Amino acid sequence: MQGKKQIDIALAGNPNSGKTTLFNALTGSRQHVGNYPGITVEQKEGYAQANDHTLHFIDLPGTYSLTAYSQEELVARNFLAEHTPHMVVDVVNAGALERNLYLAVQIMELGIPLILALNMMDEVRAKGQTINTELLARRLGGPVVETVARQGLGRNLLKQKILATASSENVRREPLNISYGPDLDPVIQRMIQKMEGREFFTSTFPPRWVALKYLEGDEEVRAKGLSQNRELALELEEEAARVAEHCQKTLNTYPEAIIADYRYGYISSLLKDVISRDTHRERLEFSDRLDRILTHRFLGPAIMIMILYGVYKATFWLGEAPMGWLEAFFDWLKINLAAILPDGLLQSLVISGIIDGVGGVLGFVPLIAVMFLCISFLEDSGYMARVAYMLDRVFRIFGLHGCSVMPFIISGGIAGGCAVPGIMSTRTLRSRKEKLATMLTAPFMTCGAKLPVFLLLAGVFFPRHQASVLFLISLTGWLFALLVSRILRWTVIRGPSTPFVMELPPYRLPTSGGILIHTWERAWEYIKKAGTVILAISILLWAAMTFPRLPQDAVQPFEKRIVRVQTRQDTGAVSPDKAEDRMQKIEKELGQAKLRYSLAGRMGTALEPVTKLAGFDWKMNISLIGGFAAKEVIISTLGTAYSLGQTPEEGQPSLARKIAADPQWDAKKAISAILFILLYAPCFVSVVVIARESGSWGWAGFSMVFNTAVAFFIAAGVYQTLLLF
Amino acid sequence: MGTTIGLRQMQVNQKAKITRVQAQGELGRRIRDMGLVPGAEIQVMGRAPLRDPVALRVKGFTLSLRNNEADFIEVEL
């Protein structure tokens, strides 16, 4: 062995056990810590050094079990089976030890050395409980370490135990062997005998584990079994069916239930005398008292609405000033660059393509940062799970699940999210159908990229009611997401609803570090998007709006008119001021003629006969086409479209002022545009994510076509109705 | 021995012991994973504003399930 020896350690644990926090404490890596079940869906890796070893940590998704019940569980168990880490550190919430050990027992049945990290020991002590960790360690046959991950306590001891376990010879590597009672044990034995000497999951799962999975009716193992050895698999299935029938007849129960009973029985025997409870100090927990108020029949929903609305208010209140500074900075930059750079293509590229495009997007970073700050707080505090709890009854009406709240909120249910992580978070939904419906309708929400357009239009046409208009837009997003879900669940994705068995984690005050890291990560993500994808698209669009260039013979009439005005001014027929005005007007007309002649102008013009039903002119069309690539581009394209129509000279008015001054725009058109932008096709990145998460490009294509159709129908309908008044 | 009723019939704050879990398949697995097995002691912590789902305390933590899922669970008071 040259260099440092690497030890692979998988971190497993229930959702809300503080696994991710411990992972961060061990590796110093940056990652979001959520209280919502299943926030760590992606597999994360991190490294730490200890003595002459490199500790390689793999953060597995949080699961309660190792069945094939959810994607998280499949990811976790397949990782354990296929990558055979040197050991597993199972992070358990020491306050709910019994339930948490259910996963530990299953890991031990896989035969991987296990270290138990008893996390949240501070909360256990606060409840007046003590845990005899030595006794527990002896019974488990493996190390048990007490930790408080939030404060980083116990992590050094844990590292020592990892090193000791890695070098120790007498660590249990044999799969744990629990008795499953007189009905199942003989069958398990028979099944093991059948598997003996045959290639059947040999390199992945121990035979006993495979037998248990057959008895539990695990679809994934059964399907794999059939492909590995059809004959044997069918024999095992038959054994399982026979014992299932027997259990049904004699005990009126199922093998699965018996297995769970014996596992919990085993856990009870492990925990006998381990937990001592000081009943005098046992008290109504803080969390329960909070729940009495926060999920109260009347107070609960009222507080929920207040909290959600408070997020808007806070965002505007805190975000307004820095937003103004950024806008002023970019205006200043433009004026100075216009003075330095020579007139022509380069100046146009820099000012209209780059600064207008990217600057418009960056100006909204403060708003988005504040918004994310609030969302992180709600997630980490445990309140988000209560929102799911309170809203489940409502969501079920629409064929969704209480857990759909999360994807909706992340996508922009609280304005300012992003559909990309929102769609990704639908992985916590167990049922494919509810998941699909959530995924397809989450893009209707007010994502952070749509926000700038809405802010702009609301600012211009409803300046006194900006916050209220935005709130209304968000509600409209929800309305459409829910109604369209209902329609989808009645039509294209029909089917029964899935279980809502969900943990309500205790309320915790989020660590400020965690929240700041999370906010920074999301804001940075947005900035990066502005600096890369959006910059590229801005330039592309600038090119599409500049080329092909108006041929010389079409430019000539404009030039001749300018010369004419010039001569009339020289001869004193018009005053210099008036001449200047006229020249600017001609320049503007020329600019528009150029834009119309360009590729984008042609596309926008070609679509105008249709889109005018919704009140959109060709400029708006260009922006909306750009918005397919990323919604932020709508605003930057509008910016480019308007500044390209004029000469970039001193004190350029902001886009808002330009739109306000444009007679083509009015409140009716603004409403139609807002509705269309809210509802039409998700951005390109979201579409890719939908394809990945649904496993089908068909659904991705569906979301583009269907959403655009819905959006156009609604926008045109509303616009035509408004025209009647 | 107390009386046996369905979990749905339990009042808020009432305590009971699970005697039977009838659920099969996905729901059954999910219920058992969360520690709702015969013998487990539970307490109803509250109900959502629309009376559904219900919040339960079991084995030291809180979980929620819908009324129609609670129907699969029988308890003894």
Give chain B's domains with CATH numbers. 4-76 (2.30.30.90)
Assess A96–B contact: CB distance below 8 Å, yes or no.
yes
Same domain for A194 and A271, yes or no, is yes
A530 in a domain, yes or no? no
Q: Confirm if A154 and A146 have CB atoms less than 8 A apart.
A: yes
User: From CA A296, how far away is CA A292, in angstroms rounded?
Assistant: 6
ipTM over 0.90? The verdict is yes
Q: What is the mean pLDDT of the segment spanning A346-359?
A: 79
Q: Confirm if A20 and A32 have CB atoms less than 8 A apart.
A: yes
Give the per-residue pLDDT at A473.
Answer: 93
The last residue of one of the domains, among A216, A250, A277, is A277
As beta bridge partners, residue A11 has: A59, A89
Residue type, A413: G
DSSP A351: I
Q: Could you tell me the CATH number of the domain that includes residue A266?
A: 1.10.287.1770
Q: Confirm if A261 and B38 have CB atoms less than 8 A apart.
A: yes
User: From CA A362, how far away is CA A327, in angstroms rounded?
Assistant: 9
Q: Would you place residue A522 in the very low, low, confident or very high pLDDT band (cuts 50, 70, 90)?
A: low
Our CA-based measurement puts residue B9 at a distance from the nearest CA of chain A, in whole angstroms, of 18
**Residues A148-186: b if buried by 16+ CB within 10 A, e if exposed:** bbbeebbbeebbebbbebbeeeebeeebbebebeeebee
User: From CA A681, how far away is CA A701, in angstroms rounded?
Assistant: 10
Percent of chain A scored above 90 by pLDDT? Answer: 28
Q: CB A260 to CB B30 under 8 A?
A: no
Please give the model's pTM, rounded to 2 decimal places.
0.73
A229 in a domain, yes or no? yes
- Count Cβ–Cβ pairs < 8 Å, chain A vs chain B: 130
Q: CB A67 to CB B48 under 8 A?
A: no
Q: Would you place residue A122 in the very low, low, confident or very high pLDDT band (cuts 50, 70, 90)?
A: confident
Count of CB atoms situated within 10 Å of the CB of A615:
24
Same domain for A12 and A139, yes or no, is yes
Q: What is the mean pLDDT of the segment spanning B48-77?
A: 90
Which range among A138-147, A510-519, A526-535, A570-579 shows the weakest confidence by mean pLDDT?
A526-535
Give the per-residue pLDDT at A649.
Answer: 42
Q: Confirm if A426 and A459 have CB atoms less than 8 A apart.
A: no
Assess B66–A contact: CB distance below 8 Å, yes or no.
yes
| Burial bucket for residue A290 (CB in 10 Å: 0-12, 13-18, 19+) | middle
Assess whether pLDDT exceeds 50 at residue A40.
no
Give the per-residue pLDDT at A509.
Answer: 83
A327 in a domain, yes or no? no
| Burial bucket for residue A58 (CB in 10 Å: 0-12, 13-18, 19+) | buried
Assess B46–A contact: CB distance below 8 Å, yes or no.
yes
The residues near A426 (Cβ < 8 Å, ≥ 6 apart) are: A404, A407, A435, A438, A439, A442, A693
Percent of chain A scored above 70 by pLDDT? Answer: 90
| Burial bucket for residue A519 (CB in 10 Å: 0-12, 13-18, 19+) | buried
Residues of B in contact with A402 (CB under 8 A): 53
Same domain for A247 and A123, yes or no, is no
Assess B29–A contact: CB distance below 8 Å, yes or no.
yes
Interface test with A, best of B22, B26, B67 (most A CBs within 10 A): B26
Q: Confirm if A620 and A611 have CB atoms less than 8 A apart.
A: yes
Q: CB B34 to CB A287 under 8 A?
A: no
Q: Sign (positive/negative) of CA torsion A707, A713, A715, A718?
A: negative
Q: Please identify which residue in the block is written with the tokens 């009347």.
A: A298
**Both structure tokens of A498:** 């899935």
User: Tell me: the pLDDT tens digits for A342-351?
Assistant: 888 888 888 8
Q: Which of A43-47, A291-295, A325-329 has the highest mean pLDDT?
A: A291-295
Q: Confirm if A508 and A449 have CB atoms less than 8 A apart.
A: no
Give the per-residue pLDDT at A32.
Answer: 47
Our CA-based measurement puts residue A329 at a distance from the nearest CA of chain B, in whole angstroms, of 49
As beta bridge partners, residue B63 has: A503, B56
Give the per-residue pLDDT at A230.
Answer: 92
Give the per-residue pLDDT at B56.
Answer: 93
A541 in a domain, yes or no? no
Q: CB A392 to CB B24 under 8 A?
A: no
Residues of A in contact with B53 (CB under 8 A): 389, 392-393, 402, 500
User: From CA A435, how far away is CA A442, in angstroms rounded?
Assistant: 10
DSSP A665: -
Same domain for A52 and A116, yes or no, is yes
Which range among A337-351, A393-407, A639-653 shows the weakest confidence by mean pLDDT?
A639-653
Same domain for A32 and A160, yes or no, is yes
User: Tell me: the pLDDT tens digits for B6-32?
Assistant: 999 999 999 999 998 888 878 888 888
- Tell which residue, A427, A426, A467, A310, has the closest CA to residue A374: A310
DSSP A494: -
Give the per-residue pLDDT at A543.
Answer: 85
Assess B28–A contact: CB distance below 8 Å, yes or no.
yes
**Both structure tokens of A264:** 């919990």
Residue type, A476: T
Same domain for A133 and A56, yes or no, is yes
Domain count, chain A: 2
Phi, psi of A187 (to 5 degrees): -65, -45
Q: CB B49 to CB A295 under 8 A?
A: yes
The last residue of one of the domains, among A247, A277, A307, is A277
Interface test with A, best of B21, B30, B54, B68 (most A CBs within 10 A): B30
Same domain for A144 and A248, yes or no, is no
User: From CA A624, how far away is CA A680, in angstroms rounded?
Assistant: 9
**Both structure tokens of A353:** 């393509």
Assess B65–A contact: CB distance below 8 Å, yes or no.
yes
The residues near A265 (Cβ < 8 Å, ≥ 6 apart) are: none
The last residue of one of the domains, among A113, A134, A167, is A167
| Burial bucket for residue A603 (CB in 10 Å: 0-12, 13-18, 19+) | middle
Q: Would you place residue A533 in the very low, low, confident or very high pLDDT band (cuts 50, 70, 90)?
A: low
Give the per-residue pLDDT at A321.
Answer: 86
A226 in a domain, yes or no? yes
Q: Beta strand B61-65 with A5-13: parallel, antiparallel or unpaired?
A: unpaired
Q: What is the mean pLDDT of the segment spanning A49-66?
A: 88
Q: What is the mean pLDDT of the segment spanning A692-696?
A: 78
Phi, psi of A342 (to 5 degrees): -70, 150
Give the per-residue pLDDT at A652.
Answer: 45
Q: What is the mean pLDDT of the segment spanning A144-169?
A: 89
Assess whether pLDDT exceeds 60 at residue A33.
no
Residues of A in contact with B62 (CB under 8 A): 287-288, 291, 503-506
Q: What is the mean pLDDT of the segment spanning A345-374?
A: 76
A187 in a domain, yes or no? yes
Q: Confirm if A260 and B11 have CB atoms less than 8 A apart.
A: no
Assess A301–B contact: CB distance below 8 Å, yes or no.
yes
Which range among A134-143, A490-499, B47-56 shows the weakest confidence by mean pLDDT?
A490-499
The residues near A575 (Cβ < 8 Å, ≥ 6 apart) are: A569
Residue A146's domain comprises 5-167
Q: What is the mean pLDDT of the segment spanning A87-101?
A: 91
Q: Which whole-number Å values give the CA distances from A91 to A61, A146, A542, in the listed order?
A: 12, 10, 53
User: From CA A257, how far away is CA A237, in angstroms rounded?
Assistant: 18
Q: What is the mean pLDDT of the segment spanning A582-597?
A: 78
Q: Would you place residue A530 in the very low, low, confident or very high pLDDT band (cuts 50, 70, 90)?
A: low
Q: Would you place residue A16 in the very low, low, confident or very high pLDDT band (cuts 50, 70, 90)?
A: confident
Same domain for A163 and A193, yes or no, is no
Count of CB atoms situated within 10 Å of the CB of A266:
18
User: Tell me: the pLDDT tens digits for A166-175?
Assistant: 887 666 678 8
Assess B55–A contact: CB distance below 8 Å, yes or no.
yes
A97 in a domain, yes or no? yes
Same domain for A71 and A134, yes or no, is yes
The residues near A103 (Cβ < 8 Å, ≥ 6 apart) are: A12, A13, A14, A63, A64, A65, A66, A90, A92
Assess whether pLDDT exceeds 60 at residue A453.
yes
Our CA-based measurement puts residue A93 at a distance from the nearest CA of chain B, in whole angstroms, of 10
Question: Least CB-CB distance to A393: which of B34, B37, B50?
Answer: B50
Assess whether pLDDT exceeds 60 at residue A377.
yes
Phi, psi of A283 (to 5 degrees): -140, 165
Q: Could you tell me the CATH number of the domain that includes residue A35?
A: 3.40.50.300
Assess B71–A contact: CB distance below 8 Å, yes or no.
no
A554 in a domain, yes or no? no
Question: Least CB-CB distance to A392: which of B61, B62, B66?
Answer: B66
Same domain for A121 and A40, yes or no, is yes
Give me the numbers of helices (H) and strands (E) for chain A, helices first please.
33, 9
Give me the numbers of helices (H) and strands (E) for chain B, helices first please.
2, 6
Q: Beta strand A114-119 with A144-146: parallel, antiparallel or unpaired?
A: parallel
Q: What is the mean pLDDT of the segment spanning A378-393?
A: 85
User: Tell me: the pLDDT tens digits for A204-241?
Assistant: 889 999 999 999 988 889 999 999 999 999 999 999 99
Assess B50–A contact: CB distance below 8 Å, yes or no.
yes
Between residues A511 and A561, the one the model is more confident about:
A561
Same domain for A56 and A151, yes or no, is yes
Give the per-residue pLDDT at A119.
Answer: 93
Q: CB B49 to CB A390 under 8 A?
A: yes
Q: CB A392 to CB B32 under 8 A?
A: no
Give the per-residue pLDDT at A35.
Answer: 39
Mean per-residue pLDDT of chain A:
83
Assess A401–B contact: CB distance below 8 Å, yes or no.
no
Q: Which whole-number Å values give the CA distances from A102 to A140, A148, A260, A662, B17, in the listed order?
A: 13, 21, 9, 66, 19
Q: Would you place residue A651 in the very low, low, confident or very high pLDDT band (cuts 50, 70, 90)?
A: very low
Task: Please give the torsion angle defined by the CA atoms of residues A709, A715, A716 and A718, in that order, rounded to the nearest 10 degrees.
Answer: 140
User: From CA A454, how far away is CA A313, in angstroms rounded?
Assistant: 16
Q: Which whole-number Å values give the CA distances from A165 to A115, A144, A160, A571, in the listed order?
A: 8, 11, 8, 97
Give the per-residue pLDDT at A397.
Answer: 92
Assess A84–B contact: CB distance below 8 Å, yes or no.
no
Our CA-based measurement puts residue A504 at a distance from the nearest CA of chain B, in whole angstroms, of 5
Same domain for A156 and A11, yes or no, is yes
Give the per-residue pLDDT at A647.
Answer: 42
Q: CB A393 to CB B24 under 8 A?
A: no
Q: Would you place residue A470 in the very low, low, confident or very high pLDDT band (cuts 50, 70, 90)?
A: confident
Assess whether pLDDT exceeds 50 at residue A137.
yes
- Tell which residue, A617, A549, A559, has the closest CA to residue A587: A559
